Structure 1
Amino acid sequence: MRLAAIDIGTNSVHMIVVRVRPDFSFEVVDREKEMVRLGAGGLDGKRLTPESMTAALQALSKFQRLATSHQVDEILAVATSATREAENGGAFLKAIERKTGIRARLITGTEEARLIHLAAVYGVDTPKPAVVIDIGGGSVEITRGTGREIEFARSFKMGVIRLTERYADSDPIASRDERKMVAFISEQADRYLETIVAAGYDRVIGTSGTILSLGTVATAVDRGIAPTEVRNLRVPAKSLRKLRKAVVDMTLEQRMHLPGQDPRRADLMVAGAILLDTILRRLGADEITLCDLALREGVLLDYIHGHRKHIARVDRYPDVRRRSVIELAERCSWEAEHSRQVAALALTMFDFTKRIHGLSDREREWLEYAGFLHDIGNHISYEKHHRHSHYLIKNGDLRGFEPDEIEIMALVTRYHRRATPKDDHPGQEDLSKPLRRTVEILSALLRLAETLDRSRHGVVRGIEMRERLGEIRIKVQAVGDAELEVWAAHKQAKALEEALGRRIRIEKAPYRKGLKAVNTELTRQKLPRNPRRIR
C-alpha cells in the first residue's frame, strides 16, 4: 500500500509519500515541501491572508498531482496552528477540498503533540522516557513518554512566527524585546516543564525545521562543516546557547550567511534560538538529539497502527474495484467459501459459452463480483435475500465503478433466484437493450452456478462442458454426494436455456484427477482503473 501524508503547517507545507512494508514499517518513496508562511499575520484569531492561502493552495495542488503520479491509495492531510486559530480557517479547508480534492483534518494541539511524539520515538529508539520538542511557526509541542506510552503532551501558542511578529520587530532584536520574549515563554511553559523535570527523562529529542536548522548551524559552527545527516545527531545545549548569543546581535543579512543555514529560515532564527535555549535551560538538558521525523510521519504511523487489516487487504487486492467488492462482502458477513465457489463455477460456464453469448472480459468481471455478492442480502434476512442483495450493492459505496455497472451487478444478484429478468422491472427498464441482454445471460449463469453448490459443502470440484447439435452437456465432477446439486441444477437450468438458446443437460460423474478443478481463489485481473463509459 502507498500512502501520502501532508502537514499543513504555519510556516511550511510538507508531504511525504511512502510504501508500507508487509511488517507495517514504511519506506520513503518521495517527499516535498514548500515554505508558504500560512500563519503570517493570521495567528491569534486573525484571518489567513489571501496571499498565504493562494501559496498554500498552489503547493497542495502540486502535492496532489505528485501523490497521484505515485498511485497512492490514501492521502492523509492534517492542518495545525495557523488554520486552527484563524477566523477563516474553516473556509480555507473547504477551499483545499474544492480545488485539490484533499480532505484535510484539523487537529488539536494535544493531538499534534501526540502524533509528533509517535514519529520522534520511532526515529530515535528510546526505551526510557524521553522529552520531545517540536518548534513550529505557530505553536510548540512538548511531550514526555516512551514508544509505548505518552505521559504528558501539551501544545503552547509560542511558535517562531508568533514570537517574531510580537517581539522581534527590529534587526538585530533589541535586548528589551529579547527579555520580553523569554518572560513570555517562561510564563507559558515553566510550570509544565517543572512537572516534566520532576518526573525525569532519559534524553531530549528535537524535531521539525526550526530545531533541525538550529542544530545544523550550531554543529557547522562548532565543526567547521555542516553535518550530512541529522537523525540521531546529538547537539550540546552549550552549542545552542552560544549560537543564541551570537544571532541576537546579528542582522538578517549576517544570519543568512551562517554555515549550514537555510536562508529562508534566517528571519525566524532569532526567535527559534531564544525559544529552544530557554526550554533546554528550564529542562536542565545537556544536549538534544535531532530527529528528522515529525508530524507527517506521526500521521502515517498512527494510520498504519489503526488500519493494519485494511492495509493487508489493499496489498492483497491492489485493484480498487475488487477491493471495494470484498470490503462490502465482509461488511455483510458473507459466506466466503460458498461465494467464491459460486463465482468460480459461473466463470467456468461463462468461458465455455463465450462463443455463444459473445460477452467480453468486462462482463466476466461483473459476473465474478456478482458471484461474490449474491448472498449478502442474508445479512438483512434470508427471506427475499436476493432483493436485499440488490439494495446493498446499489447502496454499498462500491468504488471505481460507474453507476450503470453497479446497477448491472445488483440486477444480476437480484435475479439469481426466483423471478427472471423482465424489461419492465425497476432498473431493467433504464438499461439499453444490449445491457438487458447482458443481465439475462449473467443472471442465468449465476443462478445455475448457485445450484451447483446447493449444499454449501463444495462437493463440485470441476465441470466439463460440451456442445453438440444445439445441446450443452454439463458433466458435474464431484467428490461425495452431489445429488442435491444435480437435482437443483435441473430445476434451474431453464433460465440459461432461454438465455443461450440451447438445451442444457446435466449429468453427475465422479471426480477424475487431471480434470481442471474449479478455482475458488480470487483472481487478480488487470483491468483499467477508469473504464470507458458503457453504452
Structure 2
Amino acid sequence: MRVAVIDLGTNTFHLLIAETAGKDLKILYKTNVPVKLGEGRINDHIIIPAAFERGVNCLKDFSHTLASYQVDQVRATATSAVRSAENGQDFVYAVKEHTGITIETISGDEEAALIYQGVKLSGAITGLSLIMDIGGGSVEFILCDTESLIWKKSYNIGAARLMQRFFKSDPLSDEDKQAILFHIQEQLADLFEICEKFKPRTLIGSAGAFETFAELVTRKHNQNIAIEQIKTYPFNYDDYIDISVKLINSTHRQRVEMPGIIPLRVDMIVIASLITNYVLGRCQINRLMLSTYDLKMGVLASQV
C-alpha cells in the first residue's frame, strides 16, 4: 500500500510518500516547500492573504504528486499556524475545495505525541531524554525513556512567533536577547520543574534547526556526512556551543554567507540557538543528539 503524509508546519510544508508492507516502510518520495504560512501576523492569529495563497498553491502541487504516485491513503496534519489562526478553518476549507485534501488540525499534545513516535523510530532515545522540536509557531518538549513517554507539552514560543515579536536588531542586541530569554523563562516554568525532578541527561533535537546545527558542525570539521540521509547525529557539546554562540552574535549578512543554512532559517536559527542554549543550561544537560525523524515519521508510523 502507498501512504502519504503531509505536514503543514508554520514555516514549511512537507510531503512524504512511502510504500508499506506489514511494518516495513520504503520512502519513495519526499519534499518540503518554504510556504511561510505564519509570515507577518502569526501573533495576531491571522494567516495573511499572500501566505494563504502560497499554502493552497503548494497543496495543489502536492495533490498532483499524490496522483502521479497513485497514493492509497493520505494523512495531512496542520499544526500551530493553522490551529491558532482565526482564519485557520477557512484555510482548511479552501484546501479541501481546491485540492480534495482533507486537513486534520492537531492539538499541541497530539503533535508532541507524534514527534515522540517519530524520534523513537530513529533510535535516538537510549536513556532518560528530553526531546525538543522547534517549529515556527510552537516548541514541543517530550520527557521520555526507551520504554515510555513520561511527560509532554507544546508551547507557543516558536521561532517565527519570537522573531516577529522580539527580533528588532541586527546583530541581535543584548536588550532583545534578554527580552527573549525572559519570555522563555516565564513560559517554560513547568518544563524546568519536571526536568528538576527527573534530571534528563540528553537533549534530543527533532530535525529542523538541529539539522542546520549538525550541517554547520560537520562542515566545520570537513566531515562528509549527508545529514538528510542519516537517522541520528551525536553532537560534540563544545562544537555545538561554539556554533550557536557564533550564530547568536552574527549579522543577517554573515549568516546568509554561511554554507549550510537554508534561506528560511537564516534568522530563525538565532532564536533556535537561544532557546536551545537556555534549556541546556537550565536543565544542566550536556549531551545533545539530532534525530532527523520527527512529526512526519511519527504520522507515517501511525498509518502502518
Deviation, 1:199, is 1.3
CA contact (8 A) 1:42 1:82 kept: no
| Other structure's SS at 2:27 match | strand
CA contact (8 A) 1:43 1:86 kept: yes
Q: Which amino acid aligns with 1:235?
A: F
CA contact (8 A) 2:12 2:32 kept: yes
> Unpaired segments of 5 or more residues in structure 2?
none
In 2, the alpha carbon distance for the partners of 1:129 and 1:91 equals 41
- Encode CA deviations 1:86-122: one digit per residue, 9 max, x unaligned: 1100100001111110101000111100100100011
In 2, the alpha carbon distance for the partners of 1:147 and 1:95 equals 41
Correspondence for 1:42 = 41
Counting strand residues as a fraction of each chain, which structure ranks higher? 2
Question: TM-score of the superposition, structure 1-length normalised?
Answer: 0.54
Correspondence for 1:117 = 116
Cα distance change on mapping 1:289 and 1:154 into 2, 3 Å: same
Correspondence for 1:144 = 143
Deviation, 1:246, is 1.5
CA contact (8 A) 1:205 1:291 kept: yes
In 2, the alpha carbon distance for the partners of 1:214 and 1:128 equals 22
| Other structure's SS at 2:188 match | helix
CA contact (8 A) 1:2 1:18 kept: yes
In 1, the alpha carbon distance for the partners of 2:161 and 2:249 equals 20
- Encode CA deviations 1:319-378: one digit per residue, 9 max, x unaligned: xxxxxxxxxxxxxxxxxxxxxxxxxxxxxxxxxxxxxxxxxxxxxxxxxxxxxxxxxxxx
Q: Which amino acid aligns with 1:302?
A: S
Q: Which amino acid aligns with 2:207?
A: S
Alignment of 1:392-471 (within 5 A): none
Q: What is the aligned-residue RMSD (CA, Å)?
A: 1.7
Correspondence for 2:60 = 61
- Encode CA deviations 1:17-39: one digit per residue, 9 max, x unaligned: 011122x1311110011001101
Give me the identity figure in percent: 27
Q: Which amino acid aligns with 2:281?
A: R
Correspondence for 2:226 = 228
In 2, the alpha carbon distance for the partners of 1:280 and 1:20 equals 38
Cα distance change on mapping 1:226 and 1:217 into 2, 3 Å: farther
Q: Which amino acid aligns with 1:123?
A: S
Correspondence for 1:362 = none
Correspondence for 2:253 = 253
Correspondence for 1:188 = 187
> Unpaired segments of 5 or more residues in structure 1?
305-535
Deviation, 1:267, is 2.0
Deviation, 1:148, is 4.2
Greater RCO, 1 or 2 (C-alpha within 8 Å, sep 6+):
2
CA contact (8 A) 2:201 2:285 kept: no
CA contact (8 A) 1:194 1:282 kept: no
Correspondence for 1:243 = 243
CA contact (8 A) 2:170 2:251 kept: yes
Q: Which amino acid aligns with 1:2?
A: R
CA contact (8 A) 2:109 2:154 kept: yes
Correspondence for 1:12 = 12
CA contact (8 A) 1:11 1:39 kept: yes
In 2, the alpha carbon distance for the partners of 1:79 and 1:42 equals 17
CA contact (8 A) 1:216 1:226 kept: no
